[in-house]
Structure 1
């Protein structure tokens, strides 16, 4: 028990609460790393992209790891936009509009994309067409990724950004550098509040992102059976 805990017994409880919140944040970050790598692998395999896998830097801080994911997500968006630009250029305007029409059947959209997918890949495959439709005709790379990128940037710029990924496991005192219990108490309360505020939105956005990518890969697995 830290010496300050004798005067401020609630600090010990706050430390544990902060530890738990930190672990939840790390779990969300880890899920985002995994989901991003999963989507990159699909794009590399079926849409001839050259996206690199990413790995959490366990010696870095929260901001550094948020930046790694943001950079990878922006590269994914750029690749999907590249495919979309080719489709827009090569398809007749009426056909391209059908791709954006939510009332149009997915099977019809896949057939439309397959007409020109060979321009991108050198060959036309139904699997590649399906992946293109799933990504371009949905909100995965626009709304969902944009939301997650915004939240990751906010977390990186917040009080949490400078906290090391693994430091909490070594002891909270190493992070907060608190000497007096009153100072530590205020820092703990501020840190907890910051975690709670960001976790609510981040967990929700992370789950939607992961679910959306699972839907893409699930469709892919069904077509490959």
Structure 2
């Protein structure tokens, strides 16, 4: 144990806490990337989209990975808007409006799209298109995605954004530097507070996002079995 650890005995514990919180943040981000790639694969396979898979940069910073994820989500939403545009052009205005606003069962929405679009696009594709637009463009899912993207942008702009993704393998001193015990204590306490603040929102937002994406992906796969 170093002299500064003897004088400030809680610092090692604080380092461990920062390390654990950092890992929790990475775990959430990694799962978000994984689920997003499953959606991308499904969209490319079944709806002939041309989206590139996204991947965490293990040698990058948290900011770099937040930016990568945000860019990927923007590309997916653009594809969905393109599909929505196709539905708009193929459906009667009243049917298109009902597709988005109808409060009845989901099957009714699908039937509306199928009646007009299936002859042109094929039944499976028209059904998938209707579900994708409904699920990803719905108010609930849009709020979930926007909240996650907003949180990622905030994390990216924070002090945490400068921390390397692979920092755990290098030791927590990469974050705090070789500094005096009192300064280290203050920086560790500030880091713990910042991690906890963001994780309190980021973890549930990530879980909601992952559930929404799993729902979309499963429905797509079910349709093409």
Please name the residue that 2:194 is paired with. 194
State whether structure 2 residue 122 is matched by structure 1 residue 124.
yes
Please tell me whether the aligned partners of residues 148 and 205 of structure 1 are also in contact (alpha carbons under 8 angstroms).
yes
Residues 20-29 or 130-139, more deviating: 130-139
Query: 2: CA distance between counterparts of 1:222 and 1:137?
Result: 16
Task: Give 1:117 shift.
Answer: 5.9
SS of 2:55's partner is coil
Please tell me whether the aligned partners of residues 49 and 79 of structure 1 are also in contact (alpha carbons under 8 angstroms).
yes
More helix by share: 2
What root-mean-square deviation, in Å, do the aligned CA atoms of Structure 1 and Structure 2 show?
A: 1.8
TM-superposition CA deviations, 1:116-171 (whole Å, max 9, x none): 2676xxx3132x33332333223365222111111110111111100000112321
TM-score by length of 2: 0.91
Query: 2: CA distance between counterparts of 1:210 and 1:130?
Result: 22
Residues 15-24 or 214-223, more deviating: 214-223
Cα distance change of structure 1 residues 40 and 101 upon mapping to structure 2, 3 Å threshold: same
Please tell me whether the aligned partners of residues 131 and 216 of structure 1 are also in contact (alpha carbons under 8 angstroms).
no
Cα distance change of structure 1 residues 41 and 2 upon mapping to structure 2, 3 Å threshold: farther
Please name the residue that 2:167 is paired with. 167
Query: 1: CA distance between counterparts of 2:197 and 2:118?
Result: 44
State the 4+ residue runs in structure 1 displaced beyond 4 angstroms.
none
Task: Give 1:199 shift.
Answer: 0.6
Query: 2: CA distance between counterparts of 1:154 and 1:2?
Result: 35
- Count the aligned residue pairs: 221
SS of 2:159's partner is coil
Please name the residue that 2:40 is paired with. 40
Cα distance change of structure 1 residues 67 and 161 upon mapping to structure 2, 3 Å threshold: same
Please name the residue that 1:71 is paired with. 71
Aligned ranges 1:36-185 → 2 under 5 Å: 36-114=36-114, 115-116=116-117, 123-126=121-124, 128-138=125-135, 139=138, 142-185=142-185
Note the residue ranges of structure 1 that are not aligned, 5 or more in a row.
none
